[in-house]
Amino acid sequence: MAISVGAAAPEFSLKDQGQKDVKLSDFKGKKNVVIIFYPLDWSPVCTNEHTCVVNDMKRFEELDAQVLGLSVDSTWSHKAFAEKMGIHYPLLADFQPRGAVAEKFGVYLADKGITGRAIAIIDRNGKVAWFKNYDIPMVPDIKEVADALSKVK
């Protein structure tokens, strides 16, 4: 069951592609956070999704938001993927225990062993301001996400 808009976002701490610990609470009171849950590095749809985010990064920066990618891939996979794709935002490794953070948000697909495709906007107070699940083969509309973000106070 996916997390509800208005609910407190579950706290987490995961390593990014540079082996740095990233906590959701690091941004509380400072920035809205856009968490992009995606199945796997290197897959065609995920590659297209991140290309769209990278290309629209200026819009997220103008809206003073921190983008975080999150999948079950390892930090090493994330590092290679980020370098290849020109990704400068953190890609978080929900690797061990596999999918534990995605599970808290209701987007871990245990039967497949992957993170589902979803996007959550967490406001500066740590509440879920916007959330949408997507079909695995569908590239999310990043403009829709930016528009939703622009309405978060």
Catalytic residues: 46
Question: What are the CA-CA distances from residue 16 to residues 45, 77, 92 (Å)?
Answer: 21, 10, 4
Indicate the helix (H) or strand (E) that contains 57.
helix 57-62
Q: 135-146 in b/e burial notation, b at 16+ Cβ within 10 A? A: ebeebbebeebb
Q: Tell me, what DSSP letter sits at residue 34?
A: E
